[in-house]
Amino acid sequence: MTSYDDAEKSVPRSAVATALADASTEPAWLDDHARPEALPPLTTDTHTDLAVVGGGYTGLWTALLAKERDPDRRVVLLEGARIGWAASGRNGGFCSASLTHGDANGEAHLPDEAALLRRLGLENLQEIADTIDKYGIDCSFEWTGSLDVATEEHQIGWLREEDGKDPDIVFLDREAVRKEVQSPLYLAGLWDKKGTAMLNPAALAWGLQRACLEAGVVIHEHTPVRKITSTAHSMLLDTDGGTVNASRVALATNAFPSLLKRTRLHTVPVYDYVLMTEPLSVEQLQSIGWHNRQGLSDLNNRFHYYRLTDDNRILFGGYDAVYHFGRKMRRGYEQRAETFAKLAAHFFATFPQLEGVQFTHTWGGAIDTCSRFFAFFSTAHGGRVAYCAGYTGLGVGATRFGANVMLDLLAGTPTERTNLRMVRKRPLPFPPEPLAWLGIKITTAALIRADRNQGRRGPWLKLLDRLGMGFDS
């Protein structure tokens, strides 16, 4: 049995209930007076060179980069609700260099491209930092790196295997990792000093929105696109307020149903959940250390991720990943009391010295998962439409790379990015229902068994490995 299973039983239910009692259900990042006023919806027919569908990171980066490449290009971005309201405004704020949901996953799927993708990912992360500086985006960007922690004896060896591969990746034994962050659960750690930055995700989305507007992008919120059709020379996007006639279209809908039928089975929406604490006092912060403010995660299949905010709150999330039959997405799924109670118990087991800390916010939301766990790409209608999705919760950084790929594909000129097998090869699709639901349930149970069996992958997970499915985290 894992330490987190034990923790769930060891922390009193009354302490968990008290800590969660007054929490807001609004995502903490969006619960901010700095949130921009809503932009008007589309109310008439219009023409544009490029239409971008979706106002999360992928769409915002696509629109901004399109204007940077060609300032005279007409760009219209259509968002069905508000800019950054979904995964882009609700995530943990881990801006990773990895384009493949971790180097190990990339090596498993694309061994010949792993080194190249690592380089491109680091370059992409640096370019994000440069963009934030260029446009004066105040999103609490901190280049802290990430710290993976072993909470089980067998995981120590996994971390040691990475030691020495890169001078910026440092193995920490039990004493060293607890000097970084004090937790009785930590047995070892691996600090990747260059591969991750921490930021405020909603503030990044709002900053990109401002940069887009200043560059001349036209943005319409509350403008869902209902249908996309082609004519001889352009694409028509139907909305409730008018039709957009576009020479090129970039689809950045991610977890939401694709407007291209050919890609609808390649993703499923999975709900992820997080807690946010009240700001820690000086004494509380000293009790856990965390002087270098890394983003943390453990090594279980059902892993936790957590980080400090700029006002020293702790965001603590992960573990449960919930799929609903039929690929359903509903507002009611964004709150899940049993998961919040579980996360709170795990939080206090991780940091028992923070007993009595209150949680101010609890929330959840859907992420777009594909079978290889990192983004894939598609084109349609003679190359006039590009589509990108499948980031599987690690898209804060990778969405900028994905936006560049879509623009390359729409331009029709081969580049280093479009020549990648990552771009040319699609993951295996998920089956239709009820097979998708059944397969995900079986896989979840197999991952739980592996966590309780020192990480050993059973027959079902080994079969998925052979099929090229990315269920490794």
Residue recorded with tokens 């943990």: 92
Q: Which CATH architecture has domain 46-128+201-262+372-424?
A: 3-Layer(bba) Sandwich (3.50)
pLDDT tens string for the chain (473 positions)?
456 877 778 889 999 999 999 999 999 999 999 999 999 999 999 999 999 999 999 999 999 999 999 999 999 999 999 999 999 999 999 999 999 998 889 998 999 999 999 999 999 999 999 999 999 999 999 999 999 999 999 999 999 998 777 888 999 999 999 999 999 999 999 999 999 999 999 999 999 999 999 999 999 999 999 999 999 999 999 999 999 999 999 999 999 999 999 999 999 999 999 999 999 999 999 999 999 999 999 999 999 999 999 999 999 999 999 999 999 999 999 999 999 999 999 999 999 999 999 999 999 999 999 999 999 999 999 999 999 999 999 999 999 999 999 999 999 999 999 999 999 999 999 999 999 999 999 999 998 888 888 888 889 888 888 877 755 54
**Residues in CB range of 100: below 8 A, 6 or more apart:** 106, 109, 110, 114, 117, 121, 373, 374, 422
Nearest one of 359, 363, 357, 417 to 386, comparing CA atoms? 417
The reported pTM is 0.96
Helix residue ranges, H only, 38-113: 57-69, 87-90, 103-109
Q: Which CATH architecture has domain 3-32+146-193+268-369?
A: 2-Layer Sandwich (3.30)
Q: Starting at the edge strand that comes first in sequence, how are the strands of the sheet with 359-369 ordered?
A: 169-172, 188-192, 146-150, 295-298, 304-308, 314-323, 268-277, 359-369
DSSP state of 36: P
